[in-house]
Amino acid sequence: MLNEVIAAIVPVLLPVIASILVRTLNRYLALQESSEAAQAINLAVERAAGVVYRRALQLNVPLSDDRGLTALVEEAARDAAVRVPQAMQALGVHQVQLIDMVHGSFGRVIAADPTIAGPAAG
């Protein structure tokens, strides 16, 4: 009797279980792709911020020169976008958002530089 019940249930449950497993695997793969895309973008943004910092030092652009720094940030963000277009597309990141990300990362680089006096030291 138990064998008959199991034999009747198994054909019904197998497709349901398989469907659940396929959906779970697809979600996992999508999350993994998103994670890899985010890592690629973050790396490109960090590199771009380093480029902005080096270029600002090379060109003697003062930190108070908003236009000069903005131009360097935008240039570095354009270069970063060329490196990770698929990742940007996968996550829906646009050029303006990438510029903001580079600007924020550049701010962290500046904040971490002990040779730059902060507002309190001024």
Q: For the chain, give every domain's residue range.
A: 2-112
Question: What does pLDDT average to in each consecutive run of 10 residues of the chain (122 residues)?
Answer: 80 85 88 92 97 95 92 97 94 95 94 72 42
77-103: b or e for each residue (b if 16 or more CB lie within 10 Å)?
beebbeebeebbebeebeeeebbebbb
pLDDT at 67: 95
The reported pTM is 0.74
pLDDT at 60: 93
pLDDT at 102: 97
Residue among 107, 100, 121, 120 nearest 63 (CA): 107
DSSP tag of 19: H
SS3 content of the chain, % helix, strand, coil (to 5): 80, 0, 20
CB neighbours of residue 46 within 10 Å: 17
pLDDT at 89: 94
pLDDT at 26: 86
Q: Which segments of 4-71 are extended strands (E)?
A: none
pLDDT at 17: 87
pLDDT at 118: 58
